[in-house]
Amino acid sequence: MDMEKVLLVLSLFGCSDAGAQCEPIPVADAFYDSRAVCERQIETRLGSGDLDGPHPTVIANCGTAQETEQVIADLVPTVDFATVEGRPIHSTDAPNS
């Protein structure tokens, strides 16, 4: 039984203490073929020091394009969820592997 390959997107959001106001944090384009690998990258990104900035809270998400769209819609409703920082997040735009 062949399983369809699903690509996961790592997305990061900088938020206020209460998490009421969030904005996407630009990260290098990266796609993962397993949730476990993506989640390990969260720890790497958070511990790298690259995220030092004005955000007291950082929310990380590993999800499919559809899951990522929902997270963006929930956290940052004013952002067009088809793009983050001008880059498409739809799975049809993911690189071929």
| 7 pLDDT more than 60 | yes
Q: What is the 3-state secondary structure (H, E, C) of 4-36?
A: CCCCEEEEEEEECCCCCCEEEECCCCCEECCHH
- Global pTM reads 0.66
Q: Which residue type is seen at 86?
A: G
pLDDT average, residue stretch 53-70: 86
Beta-ladder partners of 94: none
Q: Which residue type is seen at 30?
A: A
Residue 89, φ and ψ in degrees, nearest 5: -115, 0
Question: What pLDDT shows up at residue 42?
Answer: 86
Cβ atoms of 57 and 17 closer than 8 Å: yes
